[in-house]
Amino acid sequence: MIKGYWADPQIAFFNGRFYIYPTTDGIANWGATVFHAFSSTDLASWKDEGIILDLATISWGTTKAWAPAITVKNGTYYFYFCATQQIGVATSTSPTGPFKDVLGKPLVTNGQYGGQSIDPYVFDDDDGRSYLFFGNGNANGVELNSDMTSFKTIPITIALNDFREGSVVFKRNGRYYFMYSVSGTDSPDYRVAYATSSSPLGPYTAGATILQSNSSLGILSTGHNSVLALPSGEYYIVYHRWAIPGGDGNHREVCIDKMTFNADGTIVPVVPTL
Ligand code: FUB
């Protein structure tokens, strides 16, 4: 979708434009220090909007600028991001920043609720409530207060088969879908599975693996996705894979494919395309 090494794409739609917020990739040990945003009107050509948040402005984390998430409430954009395996929140009045750390400290410190404190995902329900999901090795979920920078309760652990990281929650026809990545981003079998529930914080019932490598096409390590739902009812999955050619666990590229549903609401396995 976008040229170069980028990973962990968060897709969003604000004021008539599509946006992708990725991890900057192609750096040893996943050592990114800045976040970029990309924008598009057609999902085909993308403009690099430049650096929207630089960890040089963060007092509590200097590296591992990973896997951001974004939403907007009352004209303020909330950007949840990782720095040194902790999660912070930064705000701006524009989807392209500049974003400024709100708390001056992590929202979630390293290992605070089990596992690595990475991969935030913000979900806005249609009743006005918002939730933050996060974690590696342990799937955490919690309702956010209306300030979007604090939690209503202590985060809970959500039981999911083989959960590694990359939480994503969306709602369709009254059902909550929890998508997540299995295995590791440095493994060729990194893949996406999902589970469903009648409540955002679960309990979730296992679904299936719906996106995986196709080694005959040289497509490997398809994971860490986000989801785009268009008003037309069409869905797209945006994810990363090892770059073609020559990619590996920290030389990844961002891809998009159609995602469809069966009549019973189960997700049809996605066919990753070149
Ligand atoms: O890109 C850095 C890390 O790799 C992410 O936080 C994980 O989800 C994995 O994709």
Listed as own residue / partner, the contacts of 128-135 with beta carbons closer than 8 Å and 24 or more positions apart are: 129/200, 130/71, 130/73, 131/169, 131/200, 131/201, 132/80, 132/107, 133/158, 133/167, 133/168, 133/169, 133/178, 134/80, 134/87, 134/108, 134/167, 135/163, 135/165, 135/167
Residue 273, in any domain of the structure: no
Q: Given the residues 8, 49, 119, 253, select the one marked as catalytic.
A: 8
Query: For residue 84, what are the domain limits?
Result: 6-259
| pTM of structure | 0.98
CATH number at residue 225: 2.115.10.20
Whether 8 lines ligand 1, by a CB cut-off of 6 Å, is yes
Residue 19, in any domain of the structure: yes
> Hey, which of 35, 63, 119, 187 would you mutate to test ligand 1's pocket, going by the most ligand atoms within 8 Å of its Cβ?
119
Residue 221, in any domain of the structure: yes
pLDDT value at position 123? Answer: 98
Residue 217 has φ and ψ, to the nearest 5°, of: -100, 0
Residue 266, in any domain of the structure: no
pLDDT value at position 221? Answer: 98
pLDDT value at position 9? Answer: 98
Residue 31, in any domain of the structure: yes
Residue 67, in any domain of the structure: yes
Residue 227, in any domain of the structure: yes
Strands of 84-190 (E only): list them. 86-92, 100-101, 121-124, 130-134, 140-143, 156-157, 165-172, 175-182
What does pLDDT average to in each consecutive run of 10 residues of the chain (274 residues)?
A: 97 98 97 98 98 98 98 98 98 98 98 97 98 98 98 98 98 98 98 98 97 97 98 97 97 98 98 94
pLDDT value at position 232? Answer: 95
The amino acid present at 77, given as its one-letter code, is: Y
The amino acid present at 143, given as its one-letter code, is: E
Q: How many domains does the chain have?
A: 1
In whole angstroms, give the CA distance from residue 146 to residue 165.
26
Q: Can you name the residues that pair with 143 across neighbouring β-strands?
A: 131
